Amino acid sequence: MALKSPILKLSLFATGLSGIVAEYMLSTLATYFLGDSVFQWTMIVSVMLFSMGLGSRFSRLLEGDLLVKFIYIEFILSFFVSFSSLMSYISSGYTVYTGFIIYTLSIIIGMLIGLEIPLVIRLNKHFESLKVNVSSVMEKDYLGSLVGGIFYAFVGLPLLGLTYTPFLLGAINFLVAVVLFVSVRKNLLRAQRRGITMAIAGTLSLLVVGPSFAEPIILFGEQKRYKDKIVYARQTKYQRIVITQWKEHHWLFINGNQQLSSLDEKMYHEPLVHPAMSLSRTPYNILILGGGDGCAVREVLKYPQVKKVTVVDLDPAMTELARTHPVLTRLNQGALDKAKVTVVNEDGYHFLEQGTDYYDVILIDLPDPKSVELNRLYTYEFYRLCSKHLRPQGILVTQAGSPYYATKAFHCIDTTMAAAGFETAKLHNQVLTLGEWGWIIGVNRQKKAKKTTLKAQLQQLDFKGLQTDWINREAMQLMTSFGKDTYFTQGSVPEVNKIHHPVLYRYYLKGNWDLY
């Protein structure tokens, strides 16, 4: 029995580790299925902490054979943690209430964790004084939380993903229960030993069988979210990347959101690249922020004047995929491996803050600003950074979402770029698989003429001598024409998007999506 106190504390360390990772895992799942990462992480963590409080309150109802009850709680916790990801993916394939499943799991897991801490304190009171008992138990729990956070950030999510991380956590809880059982087995009644042995056998069977079927089950659940066959899926440290196929065409999705389709990606990438590149008098040094699929680089390299292209994309898995996967290499024509191209895997904001180079054209090809993290790359401060890195005749262009389905967000980007010192012009095009899409192009106010002149210059571009599949002078007349903005803006004026006042992502989430 002398080993009981250290083993109890070890169990709290394991509980702290698995508990914090379960919080992060469920928050990641909620973000993936429901969107708005800040809201989901805030609510999942808050709900779990509240549930831990409920579990602590309910623990006072438990009397007698506390150690046996603690062991059973560990087995139950092992099951729910291990299968939380599978339950979420399966539910997504059959119901629209995936969020309800995820939040229910967070309540159950939170309550089970909350039950454990008071039980360990009560069990450990025979070995240590109250002040030492409470402080040492909480110390081990908090230390486990630190180790769990480090594990999830550097090992769990990037290496094991949401498929196998839950089972590793479940195995930790299972091992804690087994070690406790072995240490006190001689002191238990025969019926208690039999019951726990059966629980060990049942839980172990699930932990062994579960991982074997986890990947096909998750793929099955995920397949239900997409119209077409999934031919590639990977969870990276930063995002979920999926490629689907229909006939000879392919779609690229990041976190469930379409990034491109081989059917019509040129109707997106040509407007993104060619107006800015053709407007520039000296397109020598080009910076692309995002664009890890390589298609924007493909278009940039059509200009013989280009001397250097720097692609800054946060996720190395994305740029590696663009270099190696036959679907993407066929689309981007091996652009990322060209001699003029340098790929940097870094946050775009940080890259500009630390960088000293100047560019003739900056192309921003980032996902839509639907989260606070992405919102930062559409802010006044970010556009000021871009301005500092542009040469006197430099051009900046950013994808800006849909001017019709996320109208206020589109105009917010225009307003923010103008506040940052750019003369801007708005562009839009009907991309078949995305709907009506938009871009904002700008030049530093002190470096160019009036806004109307910029629009007129864009309308005069004819792209003669340039190999394009869609864009021409006639297209530029249509792309720069919007009709009356008030039809869609309804007279409201968006605020300037700033880091400490992030309004853009809220405009985006509250867009006209019911019209889509």
Q: Give the catalytic positions in this structure.
A: 365
Q: What are phi and psi of 274, to 5 degrees?
A: -70, -35
Beta bridge partners of 235: 240
Give Cα separations from 385 to 49, 241, 275, 361, 422 (angstroms): 39, 29, 22, 14, 12
DSSP state of 497: P
Residue where the block lists tokens 């390589």: 294
**C-alpha span between 345 and 354 (Å, rounded):** 14
* 501, 495 Cβ separation under 8 angstroms: yes
Nearest CA to 438 among 476, 479, 477?
479
Q: Tell me the two tokens of residue 480.
A: 């720069």
* 249, 261 Cβ separation under 8 angstroms: yes
State the pairing for strand pair 285-290/308-312.
Answer: parallel
Sheet holding 422-431, edge to edge: 341-344, 308-312, 285-290, 359-365, 390-399, 435-444, 422-431
* 106, 51 Cβ separation under 8 angstroms: yes
3-state helix, strand, coil in the chain (%, to 5): 60, 15, 25
Residue where the block lists tokens 């021409």: 472
By CB atoms closer than 10 A (0-12, 13-18, 19+), residue 398 is buried
| Cα end-to-end span (Å), the chain | 66
Q: Tell me the two tokens of residue 166.
A: 């839950």
DSSP state of 61: G
Q: Tell me the two tokens of residue 445.
A: 């106010």
**C-alpha span between 420 and 510 (Å, rounded):** 24
**For residues 294-321, b (16+ Cβ closer than 10 Å) or e, as one string?**
bbbbbbbbebeebeebbbbbbbbbbbeb
By CB atoms closer than 10 A (0-12, 13-18, 19+), residue 166 is buried
**C-alpha span between 197 and 292 (Å, rounded):** 52
Q: What are phi and psi of 280, to 5 degrees?
A: -75, 135
Our CA dihedral for 8, 10, 11, 13, rounded to 10 degrees, sits at: 130
